[in-house]
Structure 1
Amino acid sequence: MAHRVVPPGGHADTPLLSTAVPQVFVEGLPEEEDGDIGPRAAERVLELAGAADAVLLGPGIMRPDAATALLEEVVPHLDTAVLIDALGMACLTGRLDGVRPGDTRAGAVVGLLARGASPEQAAVWGAFLHGRAGERLTAAASVPRTQARP
């Protein structure tokens, strides 16, 4: 079972996700004054992570200071496979320039980790699956493909 933890008000996609993927358990967490998830959520995140095969941290956290504070409270206490998304890593390293969200790819990678893939296998297959999903979406939406130019 997957757990998705969000602020008590939830994100706009929470009802859609809960319906489309019923095996995902959605739980509200204590939020900061601005509605972001912060360090007050650490205790509950650690409780949920205790039974997990893999943990993904970062998606949905909007403020770098909130991400940093939460990650500093949680990561040192985890005893399982941990994946921190690009924004979360940028917050921890202080390098925020050019960070682009990758929640979909991160979700694929952590799912593969939870199923027993090595971190290397999970990263490669997660990138492949993410790219393949983009190709299928492009084909289904009849959107012209674009290609990055050097």
Structure 2
Amino acid sequence: MPTSEHSTITPGLLREWPLRTGTTDKKDRGTVLVVGGSRSTPGAVLLAGVAALRAGAGRLQLAVTDSTAAALSIAVPEAAVIGLPETASGSVAGDAPKRLLDLAADADAVAIGPGLDDIDETAALLGAVLDILRPDAGLVLDAYALGALSRDPELLDGRPQRVVLTPNVTEAGYLLGRPDSVGSGDDLAAVATAVARRCSAVVTLYGTIAAPDGRVWSEESGDAGLGTSGSGDVLAGVIAGLLARGADPDQAACWGTWAHAVSGQRLAPRHGRTGFLARELLDEVAYTLGTV
């Protein structure tokens, strides 16, 4: 494992930090559970879930609003899909049903947040899932799950799970308690490190990865095209898939951030720097990981 204080992510660094390969048994490659969506945003869960499979996870489970579960099960036939109670406005309700908690208790990695759109309901849901996770489980918090965490930044203190946070700069500001003072022009290494220390978790922020102990990595090949709708859902899913395979959180964040960026690079010659779609990243992830 790299131990220098600040490193640049390169194929050479990743080769010296190899991922666990696993066996032909899908259970050995890990189970990912993605919890998210709303009546209007089930696609976020699709993107994160398929990304987890492309990253090498063996099994996929998706938990979304009741009204979208059937459609999503058809769109992602590789996944087991369950419906969750929803509010009158179509958000996932915070009252976690037993079936969800049973899945979370057995999952090797859980991603919470893609497509969620109600912070109060998300906070209740997050609390219930955190209390049921296995000590060795991986956990990715994205989008509204990060908003819920910003209300209680010490929520993860003392928890043994392998946690990665995937904020944008606005979410990073909220996590630091100063939402109006963090921008893309800031020292992202300093911001990511501050979030990592405050939340006791590994953070990946626009190509900068920080661990709570002060180690920092930079992925320098990401480009403007990654700033497209759904791109963050893909990143969260890739990291969840790597965690399910047994990667440590810093390793999963570094490999996942690199694979996300290089997948975008591979699409740019065909679609231009800013013309590719998040769903097109999915078909590049497995090849990109396999070329290291």
TM-score, with length taken from structure 2: 0.43
Does structure 2 conserve the Cα–Cα contact (< 8 Å) formed by 1:61 and 1:67?
yes
Does structure 1 conserve the Cα–Cα contact (< 8 Å) formed by 2:113 and 2:142?
yes
RMSD of equivalent CA atoms: 2.8
**Change in 2 beyond 3 A, CA 1:7/1:113:** same
Q: Corresponding residue for 1:121? A: 251
**Equivalent position amino acid for 1:89 in 2:** L
| Residue 46 (1) aligns with residue 104 (2) | no
Distance of 1:44 and 1:53 partners within structure 2:
16
SS at match of 1:50: helix
Relative contact order higher in (CA < 8 Å, ≥ 6 apart): 2
**Equivalent position amino acid for 1:72 in 2:** G
Does structure 2 conserve the Cα–Cα contact (< 8 Å) formed by 1:31 and 1:40?
no
Distance of 1:32 and 1:145 partners within structure 2:
36
- Unaligned 5+ residue runs, structure 1? none
Does structure 2 conserve the Cα–Cα contact (< 8 Å) formed by 1:42 and 1:70?
no
Q: Corresponding residue for 1:55? A: 110
- Unaligned 5+ residue runs, structure 2? 1-58, 154-166, 173-229, 276-292
Summarize deviations over 1:90-120 as a string: whole Å, max 9, x none.
2221399813972111100010000111111
CA shift, 1:42, in A, is 4.6
Distance of 1:88 and 1:75 partners within structure 2:
11
Q: Corresponding residue for 1:73? A: 128
**Change in 2 beyond 3 A, CA 1:42/1:127:** farther
Instruction: Kindly indicate which of the two structures has a greater share of residues assigned to helix.
Output: 1
Q: Name the larger-Rg structure.
A: 2
Distance of 1:99 and 1:140 partners within structure 2:
32
Distance of 1:93 and 1:144 partners within structure 2:
33
Q: Give the aligned length.
A: 142
Q: Corresponding residue for 1:84? A: 141
Match of 2:238 among 108, 113, 127: 108
CA shift, 1:53, in A, is 1.0
